[in-house]
Amino acid sequence: MGSTGIVYRHPLAQLTLDETNEARDVIVKLHSDAVVSFRIISLQEPAKADLVPLLELEHAGKLRSDSPRPPRLAKVHYDVIGGSKKPVYCEAVVNIEACKRISHETLPDDVHACLTTHEFGVFVEVCKASELFQATMKEFDLPEGFDVVIEPWPYGGLDTTDENRRYFQGLIFAVDERTKNPDSNFYAFPLPVIPIMDWSKREIIRIDRPATGGKGDALTGKTHAKGILDHCKPAEYVPELLPGGLRKDLKELNVVQPDGPSFSVNDDNLIEWQKWRFRVTFNSREGAVLHDLHYDGRSVLYRLAISEMTVPYADPRNPYHRKQAFDFGDGGLGHCTNNLELGCDCLGVIKYFDGVVVGPDGTGVKAPNVICLHEQDNGINWKHTNWRTGRAVVSRRRELVVQFIITLANYEYVFNFKLDQAGGIMVETRATGIVSVVNIDPDKTAPWGNVVGPGALAQNHQHIFCVRIDPAIDGHANTVVQQESLPLRMNPKTNPKGNFYEVLDTRIETSAGVDAAPHNNRVFKIQNLDKKNPISGKPVGYKIVPPPTQKLLADPESTQAKRATFAQHHLWVTKYKEDELYAAGRHTLQSRQESGGVTDAVARNENTLQSDIVVWSCFGLTHNPRVEDWPVMPVEIIQLPIVPSDFFTSNPALDVPSQRNQTSRLANGDGNGANGQCCNGNTAH
């Protein structure tokens, strides 16, 4: 509270409901002659040039209530629907403190705003009411007691430019109502019907009819019987519907933190834990975002977020080439973020962060528990036993986890940012949920998927993620250096016995896309070439080991590939540009090619040597489903490590206590260990 009575909220503090509504009001007033339909109202982060001076004051302990600071800003996405005029889609920035719109952009017709759940709702209603749809469904004999379920999906990339409208498509399933359980798994009963809605007309304009054949069958044409679901079988996952019930021999495992968590969080979402200090925000596009990460008072990253992901499907039959989600860009992620629950999504002592979402009227609504924060134990972090004395010193690896989870129709993704005590960061994605299936005729198999349940073909697909890393390694002038370990032939002068190998550093001096090469142990170091490690004499830095996963498989000439050129390299290095946050560009819905994404950024051919740079790490999962992925798949985990490399002057976790845990017990009996430090255990000498 300043002397003026104004609460000085941090420019990175989460938007409140009041601030959200304030931003809404500013926009509504500017369009009093029209209807405004809101899509997103989110915190607009200040420009880096405006924010950095404030952060520097803050870290220097010199921030005062009257220090200059950037105003609180909101980004607002909305449609203006005005009488006879064609609706337009706008993106604006509102200065909340000044109650003023400070920037405004009316997007051209060929740009499509990300979709909202409101639109999905409209689609479902339009579809249900459609005579075309109803007539089509009469073609099938559904089993007694089954009802139709409409699953809205983004339309995917447009096939031609001349159909530049806003479309929706639906995947159609049937649900066994006889279960009397609203969570009976309808995905087990897929129907080969895909209604298409023209949004401007609110009308089902076409119904696509994918084939249901398999290997050897034509890619088009009807082969299915009228009783198309007769060979399908239930695949329930809710406990009360499992035919065999639940396993009964799993005993409780509790994480108990009697003294509370080791972290602290203030009202402006400043988090401090084990020498780490950072802020977290939530927005509808990226979910949880980490800002201004410092370790032990030294700057590491300016910003860290999941930038984009795309999920292209590989079934060659029309219209499945359009089955390609951009779950961040298309999605209106904010509405798909799970409200996490105590005791379910993590264990121990948990801090939850709420988000704010809006409906079409722009009124802010609290989205509770969209991010959770907790600590976990991840085994041994370091250990050494002196075999002479028998004394072991062992220190455990505690991690701080910032987690959010999204549900996108059938699928879910768990995103974890894990900080450790040795100055390392792990970005982890877990794919789970229900794999997308389509109907396949009895006794057939197909080269583009796997039969995971009777009549249910899970199509092969990929998930390509992009993590945006805005580094600030001891400052904002940073350089990415590729390092490889390369074999060297035996030679009398430098390698007389053939055991020497060369470690080769190559600076990335101009914006570029580069690839993982694990056979060369290729790693990328983000270094500050102006600061040398006093011990090793090498530039201080952090190391990224890009997961060497398969890149996008679709033909480079395909629409799938063109819309996601970010997926063509494992790592991109670009020069920082304000508001350039999204790997596949700001607007992905129905795109025909990536625009304003990372490939455009690289094409600027800018200097990236000791510059304000951004690093984009792309990795993925080629997911040819297993039967074990049905009906809900066990997590597939990918991890991106970002670890210090000659940034510190020794192991930063050396001062973590190696205290013996007093609550551990022997399996046979409850004998407790001795008191005191870990550990005086001997080796077996």
* Residues between 205 and 264 with contacts to a second copy, criterion CB under 8 A: 219, 235, 237-239, 242, 244-247, 249-263
68 or 258: whose CB is closer to a second copy? 258
Rounded to the nearest whole angstrom, what is the least distance from the CB of residue 44 to a second copy in the complex?
20
- Position among 294, 391, 577, 592 found at the interface with a second copy (CB under 8 A): 391
Which residues, 361 to 390, sit near a second copy by CB under 8 A?
A: 367, 369-370, 373, 375-377, 379-389
- Which of residues 66 and 636 has its CB atom nearest to a second copy in the complex? 636
Phi then psi for residue 488, to 5 deg, are -135, 135
Pick out residues in 460-489 that bind a second copy (CB under 8 A). Answer: 460, 483, 485-489
**501 in active site:** no
Closest CA to 271 of 300, 292, 299: 292
CB-based contacts of 142, cutoff 8 Å, min separation 6: 148, 174, 229
- The alpha carbon dihedral of 546, 549, 555, 558 has a sign of negative
Neighbouring C-beta atoms of residue 36, cutoff 10 Å: 21
Report, in Å, the least distance between residue 410 CB and a second copy. Answer: 8
Which pair of tokens denotes residue 171? 């995947």
Q: Any catalytic annotation for residue 320?
A: no
Q: Does 654 bind a second copy (CB under 8 A)?
A: yes
> Is cis: bond before 243, omega within 30 of 0?
no
Measured from the Cβ of residue 476, the count of other Cβ atoms closer than 10 Å reads: 18
Identified catalytic residue from 167, 302, 411, 582: 411
Enclosing H/E stretch for 17: helix 17-30
| Strand 539-544 to 633-644 pairing | antiparallel
Q: Which of residues 275-304 bind a second copy (CB under 8 A)?
A: 275
* CB-nearer residue toward a second copy: 101 or 522: 522
Smallest distance from the beta carbon of 440 to a second copy, in angstroms?
11
Alpha helices, DSSP H, located in 392-533 = none
**Interaction between residue 519 and a second copy (CB under 8 A):** yes
Select from 33-41, 61-69, 91-99, 530-538 the region that touches a second copy (CB under 8 A): 530-538
What are the b/e assignments for 576-611, b being 16+ CB within 10 Å? Answer: beeebbbbbbbbbbbbeebbbbbbbbbeeebebebb
Both tokens of 289, joined, read 């975002």
Give the C-alpha distances (Å, rounded to integers) separating 465 from 309, 547, 661. Answer: 4, 11, 38
Question: Per CB under 8 A, which region of 29-37, 287-295, 303-311, 430-438 contacts a second copy?
Answer: 430-438
Residue in 111, 207, 434, 614 binding a second copy, rule: CB under 8 A: 434
Residues 107-136 contacting a second copy, CB under 8 A: 117
> Min. distance of Cβ 662 from a second copy in angstroms?
6
Give residues 18-47 in contact with a second copy (rule: CB under 8 A): none
The answer to the question of residue 548 lying near a second copy (CB under 8 A) is yes
CB of 372 to a second copy, least distance (A): 10
Residue list 324-363, contact with a second copy (CB under 8 A): 324, 334-352, 355, 357
Query: Using CB under 8 A, which of the segments 4-12, 59-67, 105-113, 516-524 binds a second copy?
Result: 516-524
Comparison of 106 and 445: residue with beta carbon closer to a second copy: 445
Q: Give me the least distance between CB of 235 and a second copy, in Å please.
A: 7
Q: In the numeric block, which tokens belong to residue 26? A: 């500013």
For position 67 contacting a second copy by CB under 8 A, the verdict is no
Q: How many residues of this chain interact with a second copy, rule: CB under 8 A?
A: 200
Restricting to residues 74-93, name those near a second copy by CB under 8 A.
Answer: none
Which residue lies nearer to a second copy by CB, 52 or 553? 553
CB of 273 to a second copy, least distance (A): 8
Taking a C-beta distance cutoff of 8 angstroms, is the pair 436, 313 a contact? yes
User: Among 71-79, 582-590, 605-613, 629-637, which window interacts with a second copy (CB under 8 A)?
Assistant: 629-637
Residue (of 28, 199, 195) closest to 109 by Cα position: 199
- Residue numbers 570-589 binding a second copy by CB under 8 A: none
Sole residue written with tokens 């959770």: 372
How far is CA 581 from each of CA 542, 578, 584, 601, rounded to the nearest angstrom?
21, 8, 9, 10
- Residues with Cβ within 8 Å of 424's Cβ and at least 6 positions away in sequence, in order, are 641, 642, 643, 644
Question: Two tokens at 383?
Answer: 């250990």
The residue among 227 and 447 lying less far from a second copy, judged by its C-beta, is 447
Active-site residue, selected from the candidate residues 176, 315, 327, 420: 327
Residue 166 identity (one-letter amino acid): R
What does each C-alpha distance from 606 to 19, 67, 505 come to in angstroms?
Answer: 37, 34, 20
**Nearer of residues 1 and 250 to a second copy, judged by Cβ:** 250
Q: How far is CA 171 from the centre of its chain?
A: 24
Selected range binding a second copy among 17-25, 31-39, 603-611, 673-681, rule: CB under 8 A: 673-681
Smallest gap from Cβ 191 to a second copy, in A, equals: 17
Torsion (CA) 579, 580, 583, 586 in degrees, nearest 10:
50
Closest CA to 355 of 373, 374, 327, 335: 335
Q: How far is the CB of 426 from a second copy (least distance, A)?
A: 10
DSSP symbol at 34: S
CB of 565 closer than 8 Å to CB of 599: yes
Which of 52, 81, 622, 638 touches a second copy by CB under 8 A? 622
CB atoms within 10 A of CB 297: 8
Q: Which is nearer to a second copy, 40 or 55 (CB)?
A: 40
CB of 566 to a second copy, least distance (A): 17
Q: Does the N-terminal peptide bond of residue 678 adopt cis geometry, omega within 30 degrees of 0? A: no
Q: Which residues are catalytic?
A: 327, 411
